[in-house]
Structure 1
Amino acid sequence: MLSLLLAFAAAPLDTPTVQVRVAPAQVWIEEGASQYLNFDFVVRNTGADTMDVTRIEVSVYDEAGGLQIRKLVNQNGPSPSVQTLAPMRSFAPGAEGLIFNPFFEFPREVRLARLKYDIELQPRGAESPASSVVSVTVEPRPYQPRTPLAMPVHGRVLVWDGHDFYSHHRRWDFAHPVLRENCITSNPGRYSYDFVPLGADDSLHTGDGTSHAQWHGWGAEVRAPAAGRVIAATGAEPDNGEFDISALCANELVMYGNYVVIDHGGGEMSVLAHLRQGSVTVRPGDDVRQGQAVARVGSSGSSLFPHLHYQLVTGVEHGAEGLPSYFPGIRVRRGSGWVAAPNGQTDTGDIIDARGPQ
């Protein structure tokens, strides 16, 4: 849940010219070693001036209204922290764009009952610019999948890119003109992973990696992370790292090349993507069990090299959103050994010991 309030500092503008909303509307708490908030501010400038973000401040409150923690980015110092928002901190007249929430991680002990974000903006070029502050209140909720999940690839696996603040999955700017023109209106991959099976020496591949066959994960079995019914599957696309962007309006899944989508019920679906051409063994309407092999790792669609893209989503239609997913039982490398991943949560850079259901 969220609310939006516009308030103005001294010398306010006559009418509100900046509107802010949160996407997705329901903000989830992903729980692992810390608590993570993965959402975006959608900013719309309806005024005649370019507006620059000069400060974002968050105040976190517990259920009783007590202040837990406060953080901010602003213009202080020779290299101000607000510049880390660039280029998503300036909004031209009539423009709409995203600010990725810069306060995305909190200790597990902090009570995230209510978060009040104050976003300060200033019109550019005025001699004595009047700043305006847009306040947005977010009430996040913890998310635990209804469906117990297992890793869809087994063995030693690198999370090459997950959904941390710097990953390309997280930084999916659905307000970008090119994506807007091709019917993209949300980020179903905001909690996704690129899983890369590793060799015995933790290498990604042999040789220079220019051949798919040199990658240790090429052709590895891809397994259903949970039981369900296949609602979409295709396996004829070549493993050439390409897709037809003009087809996105008809089917947002085309960027994934070959894929299998499993409906687990309860509003949760798994997308297994970039699968090897000719390896998909299931069809829409098939019922699958957890751990059942459904395809092999490939490099079809928008893929740089052989890997498995996985995401848990609310649906596969335009406007669907991603959901936090956890893999109980996985171990991650820490120091010279392995430790259980807190809550089965993993993210970018983790090396995982991924075994199937015991």
Structure 2
Amino acid sequence: MLSLLLAITLAPAPAPADTPAVGVTVAPGRVFIEKGASQYLNFDFVVQNRGADSLEVVRVEVSVYDRAGGLQVRKLVNQNGPSPSALTLLPDRLLAPGATGMIFNPFAEFPREVELATLRYELEFRARGGEGQAAPVVVHATVAPEPYANRTALQMPVDGRVLVWDGHDFYSHHRRWNWTHPMLASHCFTSNASRYAYDFVVLGAADSTHAGDGSSHEQWYGYGQPVRAPAAGRVIAAMDGSADDGQFDLSRLCADELVAYGNAVVIDHGGGEMSVLAHLRQGSVAVRVGDAVAQGQVVAAVGSSGSSLFPHLHYQLVTGVQHGGEGLPSYFPGARVRRGAGWVPAPNGQVDSGDIVQGR
């Protein structure tokens, strides 16, 4: 998907003085616990500066409680030290008056043994550019995450050895999708459907991604390889007319968010889960809207259409395919990951950035 790392940015004028100085909203509204080798929390804070001064984020702290109210873990990033953690994890920390921006939750991973019943966050801001030394502004947010198990039994949508070139870990471009940025907002984005996405790249000899210099699609081992339905369902979208040139029409995004994916197949599995298989090879889509597909059925081939840097399969499980749809965790119970000289089952079927995966 689009390789954009976006920052806290400008928005409308400040609100009246009698409103709270900072507004914080957790997005999405339902926070899921993704379980693999660890527990992962993938959500963001949408922040509104309602005051007259620029505000700098100087501390984010989380306290984790179990169901009995006992403190399990407390973590923070702050201003301490010559190279403070707040600078490392929150590089774009200045919020102008009237601005709306996004802070990516910096506490994305916890051991499996920690009970994540309630997480209480403190976000501390300090004024910059105002008169005198204003008192810090501390805002609280509470999160009650829910474990997520797929309603649909999924399998890997590509065969053979596969590199998860980019998944949805804390540093992934899928994860760092700041839809409050003016460019994305102007194209009608209000959510992150790629929150739990993967870019799957088929590997060849010596675990290489391509032969030669990779300048042509045909040099990539995955180009033209089968793309399979990860589960049974009904096709609700199928596009096949885009060239494998990494291009798409930005002006069409408000009308159809799927434009960015180029050639794509969307399968509705029922139960609120839909698979998006994207960047498919032009002319390879073998299904039509309304078709019923079986798990493992070949529906297309790997390509490089839409917002694609090179041949790969972009896969995500979502609640909806247009603006406002959100990503869902997706697990592949039959997947194995390379560990040492061998292969082991992927913990809970969860894979992510950097994993070498054997699906079938």
TM-score by length of 1: 0.94
Aligned ranges 1:1-358 → 2 under 5 Å: 15-126=19-130, 127-355=132-360
SS at match of 1:175: coil
Name the CA distance, whole Å, in 2 between partners of 1:308 and 1:231: 19
Separation (CA, whole Å) in 2 of partners of 1:319 and 1:136: 22
Counterparts of 1:128 and 1:236, CA distance in 2? 59
How big is each residue's C-alpha offset from its partner over 1:51-96, in whole Å with a ceiling of 9 and x where there is no partner? 1111000000000000000000000001111112444321101100
Distance 1:182 1:14, change over 3 A: closer
SS in 2 for 1:201: helix
Structure 1 residue runs without a partner (length 5+): 1-12
Unaligned runs of 5+ in 2: 1-16
Cα distance, 1:338 vs. partner? 1.1
Residues 99-134 of structure 1: CA distance to partner in whole angstroms, max 9, x if unpaired? 000000000000000000000001113432210110
Query: Distance between the aligned counterparts of 1:266 and 1:317, measured in 2?
Result: 17
Distance apart, 1:15 and its partner CA: 4.9
The answer on whether the counterparts of 2:19 and 2:50 sit within 8 Å (CA) in structure 1 is no
Q: Which amino acid aligns with 1:115?
A: L
- The whole-number CA distance in structure 1 between the counterparts of 2:266 and 2:19 is 47
Is the partner of 2:207 in helix, strand or coil?
Answer: coil
The alignment of Structure 1 onto Structure 2 pairs a total of residues equal to: 343
Secondary structure of 1:97's aligned partner: strand
CA contact (8 A) 1:156 1:352 kept: yes
Instruction: State the Cα distance separating 1:39 from its structure 2 match.
Output: 0.2
Alpha-carbon separation, structure 1, partners of 2:231 and 2:190? 28
1:87 & 1:62 partners in 2: Cα distance?
A: 31
Q: Equivalent residue of 2:29, what SS? A: coil
Distance 1:188 1:26 in 2: 14
Counterpart of 1:4 in structure 2 is: none
For the aligned residues, what is the CA RMSD? 1.0
Contact 2:21 2:137 (8 Å CA) reproduced: no
- Counterpart secondary structure, 1:239: coil
CA distances 1:14-53 after superposition (whole Å, capped 9, x unpaired): 7521000000000000000000000000000111100111
1:162-221 per-residue CA deviation (whole Å, 9 max, x = no partner) reads: 000111000011011000001011000000000000003100000000000000000000
Counterpart Cα distance in 2 of 1:205 and 1:324: 29
- The AA in structure 1 aligned to 2:35 is E
For the Cα contact (< 8 Å) 1:313–1:321, is it kept in 2? yes
Counterpart residue type for residue 191 of structure 2:
S
Secondary structure of 1:213's match?
Answer: helix
Range with greater deviation from structure 2 (273-282 or 332-341): 332-341
**Identity among equivalent pairs (%):** 71
| Partner Cα separation in structure 2 for residue 133 and residue 275 of structure 1 | 47
Moved over 6 A (4+): none
Question: What is the one-letter code of the residue matched to 1:80?
Answer: P
CA distance in 1, matches of 2:247, 2:326: 24
Distance in 2, matches of 1:21 and 1:44, equals 9
Residue in 1 aligned with 2:9? Answer: none
Q: Which amino acid aligns with 1:78?
A: P
**What is the identity, as a one-letter code, of the residue corresponding to 1:218?**
Y
Q: In 2, are the aligned partners of 1:88 and 1:98 still within 8 Å (CA)?
A: no
Name the SS for the 2:88 alignment partner.
Answer: helix
Partner amino acid, structure 2, of 1:59: S
What is the alpha-carbon distance in structure 2 between the residues aligned to residue 87 and residue 245 of structure 1? Answer: 28
TM-score by length of 2: 0.94
